[in-house]
Amino acid sequence: MHPFTYTRVSDTREALAAGRRGGRYIAGGTTLVDLMRETVERPEALVDISGLPLGEITVTERGGLRIGALVTMSEAAAHRKVRTLFPVVSEALELSASAQLRNMATIGGNIMQRTRCTYFRDVTADCNKREPGSGCAALHGVNRTHAILGTSDACVATHPSDAAVAFAALEAQVRLLGPDGERQVPFADFLLRPGSTPDREQALRKGELITAVEVPALPRPLKSGYLKVRDRQSYEFALTSAAVALHVRGGVIREARVAAGGVGTVPWKLPAVERHLVGERPSDSLWTAAAAKAAEGARPLQHNRFKVELLERTVARQLRIVGGTK
C-alpha cells in the first residue's frame, strides 16, 4: 500500500474543499482499502467522510425513498420502510457480500465500487480501466464471469453491485453535492459504459460528493424482488441477477421495472422486457416471452456464452416469483 495522508472532515463544506484539492473520499472503505493494498488504487490523500450527516433514510412526499449516502448496507437492508416499500432493494443488499462487509460498506460506496475483474485487480496484467492504453487481458483471457452487454473492445468488466441493479430497475436518482451546489443524475446516466474510456466509471465532477440515492415513488400495490444466480449459494458475486418490480391492477400489468446484473458493464436496464409486459395479463408464457428479450444485443465472449440463456432464465424466473401465475 502506498503512503497517504489522512483527514477526517465534519461537515460537507470541509469535505468539498478537501475533495477539490484532490482528496479521495473514504466511507466504508471495503473496496478502496482492498484495492489500495493491491496498489490498484494509490490515493495520496484520504478524506474520511464517515462523520458527515448523510446517514438518514427518509420517505419522500409521494412515497419514494431517500437513502443517505452513508447509510450502511446492513442498515438500509434492515430498515422497515425499505423492506415494505421496495423489497427489491433490501433483497439485493442482503444477497451482497457478507454480514461483516455489509456492516461496513455504505450505499454511496456500494454504487461506487469497482469491478471484480481479476485482470483489473492484478497490477501485472493489461487493463485499460486501471492503466489506460495498456489493453484488455480479459477480452481473450479467462472471461467466464465477464460482461455480455455494454462491452467495448477496451473493456468487458462487469459492474459488481447488486443494489445498483435494483436502483437501475427503479430508475433512482443519484443526488450529488459539488462546489457549484446540488444536482441529481438519473441512475442510468450515473454509471458509464466503458466505450473507449473504461477508466471513467461515473458521471462525477472533481470533488463531487454523493449525498443520497433517491428511489422515486411508484404506483401501489407494487410487488418487487431480486434474484441472484452465482457459483456458490452465498457470499459471491452474481453470474446473472434480476431486479423486478411490477404494478398490477385489475389483472393487468400497468407498470414494470426490470434490470439485470452480472451481465453488463453497468447495471443493465431491460426496457424491451418492460414494454413487453405492460398492458398484458400475468402468465407463465408472458414471463417466458418477455424474458426472451433480456439478452438482446448481447456479445458473448469465449467463456461466457452460457450467460445468454442463464440471463433469460433468471429474468423469467424472477418475473414468475414477483408476478405469480394464473
Q: Which residues bind another protein (CB under 8 A)?
A: 1-6, 8, 26, 29-30, 33-34, 36-38, 46, 48, 50, 74, 97-101, 103-104, 233-235
- Look at strands 24-26 and 45-48 and give their pairing: parallel
Q: State the residue for C-alpha cell 497517504.
A: 4
In the complex with another protein, the residue whose CB is nearer, 59 or 99, is: 99
Report d(CA 158, CA 39) in Å as an integer: 20
In the complex with another protein, the residue whose CB is nearer, 4 or 255, is: 4
In the complex with another protein, the residue whose CB is nearer, 49 or 277, is: 49
Residues with Cβ < 8 Å from 271, sequence gap 6 or more?
Answer: none
Instruction: State the minimum distance, in angstroms, from the CB of residue 80 to another protein.
Output: 14
Report d(CA 321, CA 324) in Å as an integer: 6
Residues with Cβ < 8 Å from 97, sequence gap 6 or more?
Answer: 30, 73, 105, 235
In the complex with another protein, the residue whose CB is nearer, 36 or 310, is: 36
In the complex with another protein, the residue whose CB is nearer, 104 or 203, is: 104
- Look at strands 5-8 and 45-48 and give their pairing: parallel
In the complex with another protein, the residue whose CB is nearer, 75 or 274, is: 75
CA dihedral 93, 96, 99, 102 (to 10 degrees): -60
Q: Which three cell numbers stand for residue 184?
A: 441529481
Instruction: State the minimum distance, in angstroms, from the CB of residue 99 to another protein.
Output: 5
In order of 74, 161, 214, 237, 278, the CA distances from 242 in angstroms are 20, 12, 20, 13, 18
Instruction: State the minimum distance, in angstroms, from the CB of residue 243 to another protein.
Output: 19
Instruction: State the minimum distance, in angstroms, from the CB of residue 8 to another protein.
Output: 7
| Residue type (1 letter), 103 | N
Instruction: State the minimum distance, in angstroms, from the CB of residue 228 to another protein.
Output: 12
Query: Which DSSP state fits 158?
Result: P
Instruction: State the minimum distance, in angstroms, from the CB of residue 212 to another protein.
Output: 22
Instruction: State the minimum distance, in angstroms, from the CB of residue 4 to another protein.
Output: 6
Q: Which three cell numbers stand for residue 319?
A: 418475473
In the complex with another protein, the residue whose CB is nearer, 38 or 280, is: 38
| Residue type (1 letter), 57 | I
* Helix/strand/coil (H/E/C) assignment for every residue in 194-212: CCCCCCCCECCCCCCEEEE
